[in-house]
Amino acid sequence: MGYAPATDDAYLSVVSQGPGRKIATSLGLPAPVALRRHDPDTPAVPGPVLVLGAGSGTTTTPGSDPDADALAQHLLTRGFEVHRHGDGLRRVGAVVLCLTGLTELGGLSAPALELGGLLRSLAPGGRVITISRPADGVAAGGAASLPTAADDPAAGTAAGGAPFDVVDRNAARQGVVGFLRSVAQEMRGGATANGILVADGVAATAPSVLGGLDFLLSGRSAFVDGQFLVVGSDAGPEGLATAPQGETPLDQRVVVVTGAARGIGEQIARLLHAQGARVVPVDVPAAGQPLSELANQLGTASLPLDVTAPDAGTRILEHCKTRYGRIDGIVHNAGITRDKMLANMDESRFASVLAVNTEAPLRITRQLLADPAADGLRVVGLASTSGIAGNRGQTNYAASKAGIVGMVAALAPVLAERGGTANAVAPGFIETEMTAKIPMARRQVARRLNSLQQGGLPLDVAEAIAFLLSDAAAGISGQTLRVCGQNLVGA
């Protein structure tokens, strides 16, 4: 089933099965299991997909929830074994809970409890996915911008002037977020729970909703837990309604990956190549040998380049235009750390991290967008959970990664005018050469501080990036997707 343990996590190897697991459980110790990752030779889901709704009738009755019915039909058309009620099912591969019609928080009780009754039947590596609408103003982190009484004069109004039914609806929608994230912390056996927030006016079966379902149902999302994909438009290939994208969704796409010579960047380049992309690996000249070796293995031409060079974007663009005539995507992966407590931080440490991690992606993207060859550009930046929750001794790094979150949010409307998207991926604890140097005790603690109780792999980060570069994510932009196993520390 594509289950694979983290690289050197000996504890996981011991407790994931057999006597070691029994001992860990009896002692109340963490008992993580190897995660279900993508394997093209096995089914995408380890069992039937159960689609539940929260319409005007009971959640198990087809016809009571049009959106749930439509989702079930599309999943059937695309080859999944789909059920509308759990009666007689001893094993469930995934539960899709359609809550797009939820208008009052009390309406969550019945579908939530029905889901609860099914969790013991969820297969190892199973999935729970909610499909709902975003609360007004909350997802963006600002004050809610709600309709006023003038929009609905007949409705009773709250103190702020918003109709009470809109206030009720907003409470219900945001309630789904808290519910889903709590469900994610209750998953066992490597199962995960995630959600898709579908903007008002966008169909529950829009291409990127179906594409997001593909991603979240599959092993490609193994280390994504307790997170939401926000679908803001109907953009995307209509063909997703009848069939997933397959193994090469990036066929012939020209994609640049910075910091590609080693670590997460190397894994990103290899996975994008495996998915059909023409990868342009970029790294500093000092990494010339591993960069050249990677390029030879991928059958492409590398570009030795310091991303902080004032003309880095221009040189990347010319390289792509000369060889391919265009550029379709860029992954801003290059990054450095210069950790120090702020009281001991000097200007060089602080400024150098900002220069590589944030200022270079900003400058390069601006230079790329100055040319029509970048129309339709897909931008993915590497953020970090440190930039979301903060991290002791990483004020410079956290600031730089938070800057990436802000960058993609602001770029989204700019790129939308040219058919492109901008998103970020925020990894948590990922098993790399860098994290392998952390003292063993601290490394073990860091691995267990998430709902999946283990570190992720560079592959997990690469899978999320590949999804965001694909047509399946054409309706997703301005978002930051955490690949952290639902890290339990900080925001």
CB 64 within 8 A of CB 70: no
Nearest C-alpha neighbor of 357 from the set 318, 311, 399, 406: 399
- How far apart (Å, rounded) are the C-alpha atoms in residues 423 and 421? 7
Report the alpha-carbon angle 270-273-277, nearest 5: 145
Active site amino acids: 397
Taking a C-beta distance cutoff of 8 angstroms, is the pair 53, 66 a contact? no
Single-letter amino acid code for the residue at 302: S
How far apart are alpha carbons 352 and 350 in whole angstroms? 6
Q: Which helix (H) or strand (E) holds 35?
A: strand 35-36
Residues in a beta bridge with 52: 97
Closest listed residue to residue 365, CA positions, set 324, 418, 323:
418
List, in sequence order, every residue forming a beta bridge with 157; answer none if it has no partner. Answer: 163
Which CA distances in Å does 39 have to 36, 50, 251, 331?
Answer: 9, 22, 19, 24
- Whole-angstrom Cα distance, residue 215 to residue 425? 14
User: C-alpha 313: how far from its chain's center?
Assistant: 26
Helix, strand, coil abundance in the chain, percent, nearest 5: 45, 15, 40
**Dihedral of the alpha carbons of 352, 356, 359, 362, in degrees to the nearest 10:** 180
